Structures are given as structure tokens and as C-alpha cells.
């Protein structure tokens, strides 16, 4: 009798979720998110109360992983990633950070170290990883985008493996976290190859090693993985702290901490030595210490911006927004209901990782959504610590709805983009502009790209500027730090302009934090560049140039007479 009641309750919840989503469409548009959230909490509390009365039984629904189910899940994860990550493939640019990393990585093939001739703010391992991925795809930008899907798949499989360890191999509880993470990563801002994604490869591996049964070199490898993550993104050192706190409660912790320390310091010592013998230690120190410390001095991240971030989920996919709400509830319920709060805090490494991921966002201080990528990963992982109860059934129902809605809305666009991938690539406007520049056969081609630096990658050229990313010229602490170590001259931009490179690419106007600004970086007009003629680039300023379109940010390209 109890089993029948449990099954009926599960079925009722699964059927209630789509009905609830349908009803939210009738709410007032201006208060839709607020009213939907309130109504959702009422519904959630109601089913929790019913489950208490009916004595919902977890054990009746417990099944375990095996080779066949795991193989099937891997295929499903891959298909879901391809359908949810490539619907914007027809847009050439999602974020300008990625072309900057590509340009910096291209110097590796010329025998240079990262940041030796082209400076980017990330660690050297990211530049090497970009170089190797680009080498595999022969420098093809659109194939590079798809290759990032495979990196996301790798992280997703590591998440599945970690969740399986935490949940003691329970099929449903270990598989849902990966579905949730892949869905979280389907938002437009998350489909690019940010440094956080590459760092997460090492962080997720380090946590998996931490959670599996201890073996001889496990703690050394944990230190090694987290060291590699900091050589991708310097701020990820924060994620080592929860593991160190957790180890303090383990027998023989001093020996384990020593092994982590050795594993962590070894890669850094190797890179310090390499940069020292190449007389670049000052650049290495500035990139890893001076500039990151100054970077955190901004104050754009706050609780209100987190609320905006939450609302962006609702606007993108309401079902996914409710998935996020349920995950929050699962997290808070499973932790704060413990009798010994402080002891639970110290022992709950997964919860500490969630807290640390929020700390990472606030320390970064710039309110970039990709700084919350770690947060999305760790709240997904935390699902594996919960039990199969009515809340988890609620989660499953909205995950299924999110999968259906995401695939139905974006699946065909992804399929069409992948099917016609070569023609999509040929229609990239900056790629077409690069072909036009090549036809001009400019001798000793030197390009100062203060914007649209993807052109440099297409043309196989470094930036004439040591600083690759044009917006870094808006950060005085970067310029002053590099001036102090005499890697660039004072008044660097005027110095570059006076050297008269063959080609200058820039923008006269751009939107910065909601305001239209002019000549922020460079006086980008014919009056200030009398030795140059301007190439008409209007035909390349198309709708598929940039997903986050800035109508003021025209492509200004000047060629020396």
C-alpha cells in the first residue's frame, strides 16, 4: 500500500511541474518572476507536507549504476551538450576574451613563452591548453568552439564520477547533478571557452581524487591538480582551502598536507625556473601577484547583481530557474538541519566549496557571470549529497522540463549550425574581412588591434601591442604594473601610434556598463590618423558578428598610405 502511495505521489509531482509552468504564463509580466517564485514555494511546501503524512519511502526508488547505464548516460550527456551548446554557433563572437587568449597562444608556435611577446592576464597553462586545442583543429575557430564542448563533456563526466562516489553509486542521485550542470551551462554567456572552464578540468579532477578511496599518490595528485588550476586562473587557489580544512579532521593529516604542498609547489617551481632563465620573472610575478591583487579592488559584485543573475535564469528558461531554486533548497535543507552546525560545516567539504565559489565571485569584484561558473558546478555536485525524497522528485520533474524546453527551443538551431558548419564558418564577417586584408598583400604586415582582435588570429599575426586585449588599456593598474617592470613604455598607446604600424583596428564608440563612451582607448578617426586611409567595413558589421551586439562599436580599420 505504501509503495503504491509513493508511486502515485511521484507521478503527481511529475505531472504537476508542467502544469505549474503553464500557469505561470498567465501571471502579470512585470511581476511574473516574483509571483512565480512565491507560488513555487507554496507548492513545494505543500508536497513536503503531504510526503510527511504519507511517509514517502526512499528505498523503493533506489537503483544503482552499471556499465550499461553509464554508457547510455555518457551518450545522452554528449547529445545534450551538442544540442544546448551550439545554438549560437552562427554568431562569430560571444565574448572577446576568447579571441584574446587565442592570439596570445599563437605565439607558442613561434617559440615564445606565454606573456613573452603577447600579454594576457591568465596563467601560462591556459595559453598552452589553447595552443594545443587550436593545433588539433588546425586553427579553425568554429572547430575550436565545438572542441570546447568536448572539454565540457570531460568535466561533466568527472562530475558524474564524483557524484557516484558521494552517492554510493546510486543511479538517479549520481546522474541528475550532471544534467543540471549541463543545463546551467546552456545559457549564452556560458557557451564560450572561458579560463574558468579550463581551470575546472583540474579542480574537478582534484576533488574526484579527494573523494575516491585513498591511494599512495592521491594527496600529491590533489596538490598537483590544484596547482595546474592556478596556472590557468590564479584565483582558483581559493578552492584548495575547503579541502585543507577537511583534511585537518583526518588521521595523519600533517603528512597529507605535506604531500599536497609538494604537489602544489612543483609546477610553480618549474615555471618559475623557466621564466627566470628567460629573464621574464618580473612578468611572471606581475601576472600572478601584482595585477590580480589590483584586479580585486573593483566593487561591481554585490547581492543585487546576484539577484539579477537569478532573474536571468528565469528570462532564459523558467524551468531552469526552478531547478536552481530547488537546488538551493536541497543545499540548505541537507546542511542546516544537522544538529551540530559547526562540526558539520568543517566536515562538509562540498558545502565549503559552494561557499568558496561565491567568495570567488565577490573577490573577483567585476560582476562577470563567468565568475559564477564554479558556483554552478559545485551546487550541481552538492545534489549528490541529498537523499531521494519529495524534493528530489521535484528536482527531477523540472530537470526533465528543462531538457525538453532547451532542446525544443535550441536543438534545431544547434543541429542546423553543426550540419552546415563550413558555410556558417565562411559567413563569419571578421573572417571575410581578414580575406579582404590578405588580398591587399601588405608587405611586412603589422597590426595594432585595439578592438576586433580575432582578425589577428585569422591573419596569423601577433598584436603590434604587447597587451593583447584592448579593454585592458582601460585598466590603469595593468598599464602601471607593466610600466614599472619596463616591459612597456610610459604613454604606451601614443608610442605605438607614433611607430606607425601598417594597420590599425579600433572602435570610436562603445557601450561601457550601460553608457555610450567615445575614444576611451584611442582617437579612432581619420582626423587623428592622417597617414592612413580608412577601409569601408560596413558590410562586415552584420547581425551575426556579435551575439551581445553593440550598435555603436563599428569596425574602424585604417591602412597606412
Distance of CA 280 to the CA centre of its chain: 29
Whole-Å CA distances, 307 to 34, 191, 302, 311, 430: 11, 21, 9, 6, 35
Q: Which of 1-10, 96-105, 329-338 has the lowest mean pLDDT?
A: 1-10
43 pLDDT band, cuts 50/70/90, is confident
Of the chain, the percentage scoring pLDDT greater than 90 comes to 58
CA pair distance 335, 284, nearest whole angstrom:
41
- What average pLDDT score do residues 142-162 get? 96
Give pLDDT, residue 298. Answer: 64
pLDDT 10s digits, 160-206: 999 999 998 888 899 999 999 999 999 998 887 899 999 999 999 99
Q: Which of 62-66, 291-295, 340-344, 444-448 has the highest mean pLDDT?
A: 444-448
pLDDT 10s digits, 492-506: 988 999 899 999 999
**Of 107, 69, 313, 290, residue with least CA distance to 190:** 313
470 pLDDT band, cuts 50/70/90, is confident
Say which residues have a Cβ less than 8 Å from residue 398's Cβ, sequence separation at least 6.
17, 319, 320, 322, 323, 326
Comparing 114 with 521, the larger pLDDT belongs to 114
In the three-class reduction of DSSP (H, G, I as helix; E, B as strand; rest coil), residue 546 is classed as strand
Residue 418 has pLDDT above 80, yes or no: yes
- What average pLDDT score do residues 39-53 get? 70
- What average pLDDT score do residues 529-548 get? 92
Comparing 172 with 219, the larger pLDDT belongs to 219
pLDDT 10s digits, 318-361: 899 999 999 988 887 766 665 455 556 667 899 899 999 999 99
CA pair distance 21, 19, nearest whole angstrom:
5
- What average pLDDT score do residues 510-534 get? 78
Residue 552 has pLDDT above 60, yes or no: yes
Give pairs for 47-56: CB < 8 Å, separation 24+: 47/9, 47/13, 47/16, 47/390, 47/394, 48/390, 48/391, 50/9, 50/390, 51/9, 51/389, 51/390, 54/2, 54/5, 54/6, 54/9, 55/2, 56/6, 56/9, 56/389, 56/390
- What average pLDDT score do residues 35-48 get? 74
Comparing 523 with 229, the larger pLDDT belongs to 229
1 pLDDT band, cuts 50/70/90, is very low
Query: Mean of the per-residue pLDDT values for the chain?
Result: 87
Give pLDDT, residue 144. Answer: 97
Q: Where are the beta strands (DSSP E) in 157-289?
A: none
Residue 302 has pLDDT above 90, yes or no: no
30 pLDDT band, cuts 50/70/90, is low
Output the nine-digit C-alpha cell for 314.
528565469
CA pair distance 261, 86, nearest whole angstrom:
40
Output the nine-digit C-alpha cell for 552.
555603436
- What average pLDDT score do residues 456-480 get? 92
pTM of the model: 0.91
Give pLDDT, residue 508. Answer: 84
Residue 5 has pLDDT above 70, yes or no: no
Residue 48 has pLDDT above 90, yes or no: no
pLDDT 10s digits, 363-411: 887 778 888 999 999 999 999 988 887 888 889 999 999 999 999 999 9
pLDDT 10s digits, 473-493: 888 899 999 999 999 998 898
HEC string for 298-310: CCCCCHHHHHHHH
286 pLDDT band, cuts 50/70/90, is very high
HEC string for 335-346: HHCCCCHHHHHH
CA pair distance 73, 68, nearest whole angstrom:
9
Give pLDDT, residue 246. Answer: 86
Give pLDDT, residue 4. Answer: 52
Amino acid at each position: 500500500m505504501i509503495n503504491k502511495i509513493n508511486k502515485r505521489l511521484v507521478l503527481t509531482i511529475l505531472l504537476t511541474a508542467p502544469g505549474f509552468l503553464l500557469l505561470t504564463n498567465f501571471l502579470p509580466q512585470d511581476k511574473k518572476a516574483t509571483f512565480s517564485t512565491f507560488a513555487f514555494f507554496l507548492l513545494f511546501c505543500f508536497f513536503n507536507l503531504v510526503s510527511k503524512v504519507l511517509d514517502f519511502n526512499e528505498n523503493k526508488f533506489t537503483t544503482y549504476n552499471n556499465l550499461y547505464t553509464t554508457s547510455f548516460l555518457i551518450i545522452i550527456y554528449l547529445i545534450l551538450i551538442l544540442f544546448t551548446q551550439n545554438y549560437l554557433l552562427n554568431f562569430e563572437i560571444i565574448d572577446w576574451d576568447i579571441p584574446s587568449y587565442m592570439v596570445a597562444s599563437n605565439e607558442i608556435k613561434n617559440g615564445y613563452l606565454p606573456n613573452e611577446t603577447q600579454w594576457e592576464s591568465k596563467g601560462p597553462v591556459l595559453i598552452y591548453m589553447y595552443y594545443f586545442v587550436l593545433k588539433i583543429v588546425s586553427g579553425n575557430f568554429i572547430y575550436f568552439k565545438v572542441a570546447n564542448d568536448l572539454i565540457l563533456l570531460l568535466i561533466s563526466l568527472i562530475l558524474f564520477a564524483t557524484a557516484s562516489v558521494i552517492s554510493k553509486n546510486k543511479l538517479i542521485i549520481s546522474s541528475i547533478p550532471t544534467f543540471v550542470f549541463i543545463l546551467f551551462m546552456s545559457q549564452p554567456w556560458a557557451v564560450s571557452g572561458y579560463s574558468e572552464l579550463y581551470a575546472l578540468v583540474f579542480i574537478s579532477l582534484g576533488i574526484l581524487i579527494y573523494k575516491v578511496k585513498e591511494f599512495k599518490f592521491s594527496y600529491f595528485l590533489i596538490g598537483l591538480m590544484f596547482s595546474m588550476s592556478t596556472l590557468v586562473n590564479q584565483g582558483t587557489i581559493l578552492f584548495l582551502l575547503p579541502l585543507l580544512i577537511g583534511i585537518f579532521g583526518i588521521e595523519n593529516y600533517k603528512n597529507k598536507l605535506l604531500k599536497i604542498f609538494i604537489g602544489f609547489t612543483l609546477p610553480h617551481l618549474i615555471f618559475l625556473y623557466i621564466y627566470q632563465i628567460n629573464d621574464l620573472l618580473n612578468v611572471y610575478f606581475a601576472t600572478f601577484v601584482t595585477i590580480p591583487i589590483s584586479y580585486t579592488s573593483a566593487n561591481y559584485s554585490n547581492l543585487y547583481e546576484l539577484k539579477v543573475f537569478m532573474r536571468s535564469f528565469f528570462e532564459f528558461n523558467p524551468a531552469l530557474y526552478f531547478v536552481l531554486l530547488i537546488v538551493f533548497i536541497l543545499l540548505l535543507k541537507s546542511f542546516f538541519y544537522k544538529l551540530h552546525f559547526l562540526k558539520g560545516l568543517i566536515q562538509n567539504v562540498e558545502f565549503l566549496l559552494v561557499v568558496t565559489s561565491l567568495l570567488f565571485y565577490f573577490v573577483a569584484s567585476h560582476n562577470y557571470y563567468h565568475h559564477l561558473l564554479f558556483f554552478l558546478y559545485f551546487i550541481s555536485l552538492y545534489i549528490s549529497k541529498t537523499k531521494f525524497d519529495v524534493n528530489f522528485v521535484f528536482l527531477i520533474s523540472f530537470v526533465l522540463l528543462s531538457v525538453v524546453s532547451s532542446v525544443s527551443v535550441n536543438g534545431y538551431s544547434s543541429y542546423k549550425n553543426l550540419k552546415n558548419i563550413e558555410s556558417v564558418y565562411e559567413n563569419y564577417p571578421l573572417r571575410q574581412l581578414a580575406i579582404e586584408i590578405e588580398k591587399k598583400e601588405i608587405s611586412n604586415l603589422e597590426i595594432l588591434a585595439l578592438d576586433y582582435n580575432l582578425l589577428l588570429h585569422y591573419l596569423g599575426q601577433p598584436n603590434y601591442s604587447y597587451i593583447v586585449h584592448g579593454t585592458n588599456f582601460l585598466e590603469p593598474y595593468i598599464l602601471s604594473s607593466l610600466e614599472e617592470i619596463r616591459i612597456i613604455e610610459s604613454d604606451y598607446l601614443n608610442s605605438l601610434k607614433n611607430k606607425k604600424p601598417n594597420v590599425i583596428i579600433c572602435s570610436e564608440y562603445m557601450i561601457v556598463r550601460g553608457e555610450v563612451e567615445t575614444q576611451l582607448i584611442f582617437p579612432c578617426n581619420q582626423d587623428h590618423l592622417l597617414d592612413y586611409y580608412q577601409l569601408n567595413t560596413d558590410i562586415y558589421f552584420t547581425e551575426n558578428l556579435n551575439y551581445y551586439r553593440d550598435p555603436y562599436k563599428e569596425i574602424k580599420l585604417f591602412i597606412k598610405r
